[in-house]
Amino acid sequence: MTEGTPTGSLRIAVIGTNYLGANTAAGMAEFGFDVIGVEIDEHRLKLLNDGKAPLYEPGLDPLLKKHVDSGRLRFTKDYREVADWADVYFICVGTPQQEGSDAADLGQVNSVVDMLAPLLTRPCLVVGRSTVPVGTSKLVEQRFHSESPAGIGVEIAWQPEFLREAHGVDDTLHPDRLVFGVQSAEAEATLRQVFAIPIAEGCPVVVCNLPTAELVKGGANAFLATKISFINALSEMADATGADVTQLADALGFDKRIGRGMLNAGPGYGGGCLPKDLRAFMARAGELGVEEVITLLREVDDINYRRRARVVDVTHELLGAEWVGRNVTVLGAAFKAGTDDVRDSPALDIAGRIQLHGATVTVYDPEAMDNARRVRPTLRYADSAVEACADAHLILHLTEWPEFRALDPVALKEIVATPVILDARLLLDAASWRAAGWKYRAPGKA
């Protein structure tokens, strides 16, 4: 089959079908391939075979449904169904932070090798997409070569993904770049065949060795985290001088070398990727003896967590230095808008800290309520933003959902105890809140 005509000839297995794997499996089916996803969690498996995503991700349900219905995509828990069926195996399992350490936990990657390696009897390509410490792919390769009946016929490649939650489908179908960490022209050709459609659309391809491919992902996330902490450091400067950090970001961002992306000051970055990937990157740098990297990135991490403390401090100040007997409304629980993911969410962390100080905290989020309740069961939850604001002494705007920007400050003033709002995301229209009689505060804004 030639480049640009992917349909049919390659069979693709996607191992691990949570966020990354579900997007990858649906995307590969959309590219025209027959795909089987391997998922060991029964609940997730059932959802996926019904064409439903295991998490809230705009556009993913329809894509899964389309290809489950077309018969091009199905999911199994049995590795034997994919072993020797697929030509390409994508490893898409999670690599969370290890308990008690900054390093990545490679348990899920290792168990994929445990399950798959003994079943591979014919040559194939195993492609890692999981975010791993540099050097992992070589360890994975050694294990496949020694534990698979196919031996060195199992070739390893690494192809990092850069999916952003809430944009996972688009980032899968229309990536801004493809990185192929490969060891042979055949592996490169296979990956070019898999990604023929985005390549034909003009997506640039970087072909490199395995460690480069592994480092790209950690490097990209470390850089993005650094950008966010940089603007948040400038936000502290702005507070100390009366400058406006949003205007600073706009002015910096017009410089093409800098760019405006990831320069929104706020409560800092969270989620299931940037924080843990940054730490895993530092941990690996430490293992490799490159201490300078740790110094820089440790500061990035520290600035980030200082943001949360800063929001709590300003909250205390706005509550008149009292905690007990104060009602605080937290608008947002997800780590960012467009997702129900609350992993390392600044909003929930701040809500928890304020509650620990003794205030009564009521949270509302349009999508993340179930996850928030599970993680922080002792917080109060409301069914709507307006309900959450009733009798509040202070409202905190912590996740940038559009519905919070649409709140009517005039109507809301009637139901709160005191009209005070802390816009930690710096996205509300300060003038209209002030005009409606609110005390409006946004760290980093004059």
The annotated binding site is made up of 44, 95, 131, 162-165, 217, 270, 276, 336, 343
| DSSP, residue by residue, 9-54 | T-EEEEE--SHHHHHHHHHHHHTT-EEEEE---HHHHHHHHTT--S
Asked if 181 interacts with ligand UDX (CB under 6 A), we say no
Beta-carbon contacts of 399 under 8 Å, excluding residues fewer than 6 positions away, are: 331, 332, 333, 334, 335, 336, 337, 345, 347, 365, 368, 425
Least separation, in Å, of the C-beta of 242 and ligand UDX?
22
Among 149, 103, 88, which Cα is nearest to 279's? 103
Give CA angle at 400 (371, 236), nearest 5°. Answer: 115
**In 120-250, at which residue ranges do the beta strands (DSSP E only) sit?**
124-128, 154-158, 178-181, 205-208
Q: Which of 335, 364, 381, 440 binds ligand UDX (CB under 6 A)?
A: 335
Assess whether 92 carries a catalytic annotation. no
Least separation, in Å, of the C-beta of 202 and ligand UDX?
20
Least separation, in Å, of the C-beta of 142 and ligand UDX?
27
**Helix, strand and coil percent figures for the chain, each rounded to 5:** 45, 15, 40
51 vs 218 by CB, closer to ligand UDX: 218
Give the separation between CA 315 and CA 17, rounded to whole angstroms: 40
Asked if 59 interacts with ligand UDX (CB under 6 A), we say no
Asked if 164 interacts with ligand UDX (CB under 6 A), we say yes
Using a 10 angstrom Cβ sphere, with 0-12 exposed, 13-18 middle and 19 or more buried, the burial of residue 290 is: exposed
Q: Which stretch binds ligand UDX (CB under 6 A): 163-171, 176-184, 357-365, 436-444?
A: 163-171
Asked if 224 interacts with ligand UDX (CB under 6 A), we say yes
Least separation, in Å, of the C-beta of 268 and ligand UDX?
6
12 vs 228 by CB, closer to ligand UDX: 228
Q: Which stretch binds ligand UDX (CB under 6 A): 158-166, 237-245, 354-362, 432-440?
A: 158-166
Binding characters for ligand UDX, 259-278, by CB under 6 A (x = yes): ---xxx-x--xxx-xx----
**Contact assessment for residue 196 and residue 188, using Cβ atoms and an 8 Å cutoff:** no
Least separation, in Å, of the C-beta of 129 and ligand UDX?
10
Q: Which residues bind ligand UDX (CB under 6 A)?
A: 162-165, 221, 224, 228, 262-264, 266, 269-271, 273-274, 335-336
Residues annotated as part of the active site? 273
